[in-house]
Amino acid sequence: MRVIVFFDLPVETSEERRAYRAFRKFLLGEGFLMMQESVYSKLTLNATAAAAVMKTVKKNCPRKGLVQMLLVTEKQYNNIELLVGESESEVINTTDKLVVL
């Protein structure tokens, strides 16, 4: 399962910029990978682990702005279609049980 976090945080004052940086640093420290600007995802083993991750994100959420989370299965995540641009990830994205490098 994947937990996807979308956020739009204000960055007008120095306090808001500090909160933005702290939240982004928190996500990276928790193992989230940036999909695109203000969209981060994390792979979890199952729904129980995903619920724990979502609870942790809720606890560390900034007071101002908009933060949303979405839980999708790996099969749903693999159906993402790239429309414009290039994928710059070194992460192997497959549902196969065995990956030979």
Phi, psi of 82 (to 5 degrees): -80, 120
- At 34-90, the pLDDT tens digits run 998 999 999 999 999 999 999 999 999 999 999 999 999 989 988 888 888 776 665
Is 67 strand, coil or helix? strand
Residue 7 pLDDT > 90: yes
Whole-structure pTM value: 0.80
Asked if pLDDT for residue 16 goes beyond 80, the answer is yes
pLDDT at 86: 72
Q: Is the predicted pLDDT of residue 97 greater than 80, yes or no?
A: no
Give the separation between CA 42 and CA 51, rounded to whole angstroms. 12
Tokens linked to 101: 């490098």
Instruction: Determine the residue type at 34.
Output: M
Distance CA 76, CA 3 (A): 12
